[in-house]
Protein backbone atom coordinates (compact mmCIF):
# COMPACT_ATOMS: atom_id res chain seq x y z
CA UNK A 1 0.00 0.00 0.00
CA UNK A 2 1.31 3.47 -0.82
CA UNK A 3 2.08 5.99 1.86
CA UNK A 4 0.88 9.53 1.43
CA UNK A 5 3.43 12.19 2.38
CA UNK A 6 2.75 15.85 2.77
CA UNK A 7 4.57 18.19 0.46
CA UNK A 8 6.37 19.72 3.42
CA UNK A 9 7.65 16.33 4.63
CA UNK A 10 8.86 15.52 1.14
CA UNK A 11 10.60 18.87 0.77
CA UNK A 12 12.29 18.50 4.18
CA UNK A 13 13.44 15.01 3.23
CA UNK A 14 14.90 16.21 -0.07
CA UNK A 15 16.63 19.15 1.64
CA UNK A 16 18.10 16.91 4.35
CA UNK A 17 19.38 14.41 1.77
CA UNK A 18 20.96 17.26 -0.25
CA UNK A 19 22.65 18.69 2.85
CA UNK A 20 24.02 15.25 3.74
CA UNK A 21 25.38 14.82 0.20
CA UNK A 22 27.03 18.25 0.34
CA UNK A 23 28.56 17.54 3.75
CA UNK A 24 29.91 14.21 2.50
CA UNK A 25 31.43 15.89 -0.58
CA UNK A 26 32.94 18.62 1.59
CA UNK A 27 34.57 16.00 3.82
CA UNK A 28 35.97 14.25 0.73
CA UNK A 29 37.50 17.51 -0.51
CA UNK A 30 39.03 18.27 2.89
CA UNK A 31 40.45 14.74 3.03
CA UNK A 32 42.05 15.17 -0.41
CA UNK A 33 43.53 18.49 0.70
CA UNK A 34 44.87 16.83 3.84
CA UNK A 35 46.59 14.14 1.76
CA UNK A 36 48.15 16.82 -0.43
CA UNK A 37 49.24 18.80 2.63
CA UNK A 38 50.94 15.68 4.03
CA UNK A 39 52.80 15.18 0.77
CA UNK A 40 53.84 18.83 0.71
CA UNK A 41 54.99 18.57 4.33
CA UNK A 42 57.13 15.54 3.54
CA UNK A 43 58.77 17.31 0.59
CA UNK A 44 59.09 20.73 2.22
CA UNK A 45 62.45 22.26 3.05
CA UNK A 46 63.16 22.65 6.77
CA UNK A 47 62.21 26.33 6.83
CA UNK A 48 58.68 25.48 5.56
CA UNK A 49 58.01 22.50 7.85
CA UNK A 50 56.38 24.58 10.59
CA UNK A 51 53.91 26.20 8.22
CA UNK A 52 53.11 22.88 6.56
CA UNK A 53 52.63 21.19 9.95
CA UNK A 54 50.13 23.86 10.96
CA UNK A 55 48.25 23.36 7.70
CA UNK A 56 48.12 19.59 8.27
CA UNK A 57 46.88 20.08 11.83
CA UNK A 58 44.16 22.53 10.77
CA UNK A 59 42.93 20.29 7.98
CA UNK A 60 42.88 17.23 10.22
CA UNK A 61 40.88 19.14 12.85
CA UNK A 62 38.43 20.31 10.20
CA UNK A 63 38.04 16.78 8.88
CA UNK A 64 37.45 15.46 12.38
CA UNK A 65 34.75 18.10 12.88
CA UNK A 66 33.05 17.20 9.60
CA UNK A 67 32.97 13.47 10.23
Name the residue with higher pLDDT: 64 or 14.
64
Within a domain: 35: yes
Within a domain: 7: no
The total of structural domains in the chain comes to 1
Within a domain: 9: no
Q: Are 28 and 59 in contact (CB under 8 A)?
A: no
- The whole domain housing 54 covers 24-66
Q: In this predicted structure, what is the pLDDT of residue 57?
A: 98
User: 48: number of CA atoms within 13 Å, CB side?
Assistant: 12
Whether residue 42 is predicted with pLDDT greater than 90 in this model: the reply is yes
Long-range CB pairs of 39-47, under 8 A, 24+ apart, other chains included: none
Q: Quick: pLDDT tens for 45-56.
A: 999 999 999 999
Q: Residue 65: phi, psi to the nearest 5?
A: -65, -40
Q: Quick: pLDDT tens for 1-40.
A: 677 767 787 778 889 999 999 999 999 999 999 999 999 9
Within a domain: 38: yes
Within a domain: 44: yes
Within a domain: 11: no
Within a domain: 53: yes
Within a domain: 5: no
Amino acid sequence: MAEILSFRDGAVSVRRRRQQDLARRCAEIVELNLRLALELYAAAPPEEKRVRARQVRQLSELLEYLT
